[in-house]
Chain A
């Protein structure tokens, strides 16, 4: 059975859309047939992050309401064979779609694609319920901040209550220079608190902002975030990939060299 993965977080602005774009692109780049669905009706953004905003004709609500066929609404990403986007509607709101309509649509797409990725809106209301309705896997995105972790915990509780088959944790915007100073929770701290399996750690990297500016996912390129997203994709595909450099623990020697190489701080 092909996987339907919802990317969710509870809190807004932690990187759900960026994660969806990069994971989707990474999976497509490794030869899978992938469709990305933006479920954030009224506040669509996956299209701009993917750089496909000029090619939208029909959207999710049009498909659900029967104004067009699914195939007509799918935008093919010309950069990667097998990568498609189903954009959200910008002029409607979350109540335009319900859970059974989402399930029906996903069942249809699941037969044609290896991976269906759903970009979930922030919050725990109707939009969240729609996004998780047809999914069998979840990526919970959080940042190492108290508010984001609290919301992630709430989301994990709701996903468990909804009998989600598999829930994995993605920690975004790690700053290892701050971890070294004792001013940011470590990857292990966050993973322990939330007690779900960790599947990816993305360093805080300005190249993410640059990539978003250009509408070009950075997965697989030479940047730290690009490499981290690539590793995340490989783990989703079932491979064992070690965590980058100092992603996990800070050894004694890292600390010592950190003192002598202050100029390299933030390199992660």
Chain B
């Protein structure tokens, strides 16, 4: 049984996993986290022109291919943008 989050110390396993995930994203595309952050901001700005989005919680990720090792060598960029209001009139 797990204790609620606020009592539980983050295990070193979780720390390692999280660090690796971020590290490998930039390793794979040869692109630094700073550059990714800039791309993220630009995407948020453009989409915000058309709808109201939750920019705080949007995520972007670059992966080598959707299904690694099965064709598709070109990297692709995934953006997960939570929409707050689809019909924002600007």
Contacts and interface: CB of A to CB of B under 8 A. Distances in A.
Interface of A: 145-146, 149-150, 153-154, 156-157, 160-161, 167, 179, 181-186, 189, 193, 195-196
B13 A153 contact: no
Contacts of A167: 69
A109 to B, nearest CB: 26
Contact of B73 (A150, A160, A181): A160
Nearest to A160: B69
B12 interface: yes
A185 B69 CA distance: 23
A183 B11 contact: yes
User: Chain B's interface: helix, strand, loop or mixed, by majority?
Assistant: helix
Given A183-B12, A185-B13, A193 B64 contact: no
A154 B13 contact: no
Given A150-B20, A184-B13, A186-B13, 8 more contacts: A150-B24, A160-B73, A182-B11, A182-B12, A183-B12, A185-B13, A189-B17, A195-B68
Given A153-B28, A167-B69, A146 B20 contact: yes
Given A150-B23, A154-B27, A185 B17 contact: yes
A157 B28 contact: yes
Interface in B42-74: 64, 68-69, 73
Contacts of B20: 146, 149-150, 193
A194 to B, nearest CB: 9
29 contacts: A145-B16, A146-B19, A149-B20, A150-B23, A150-B27, A153-B24, A153-B27, A153-B28, A154-B27, A156-B68, A157-B28, A160-B64, A160-B69, A160-B73, A179-B13, A182-B11, A182-B12, A183-B12, A184-B12, A185-B17, A186-B13, A189-B13, A189-B17, A193-B17, A193-B20, A193-B24, A195-B68, A195-B69, A196-B69
A196 B27 contact: no
Q: 8 tightest A-B contacts by CB?
A: A182-B11, A195-B68, A183-B12, A182-B13, A153-B24, A185-B13, A146-B16, A189-B17
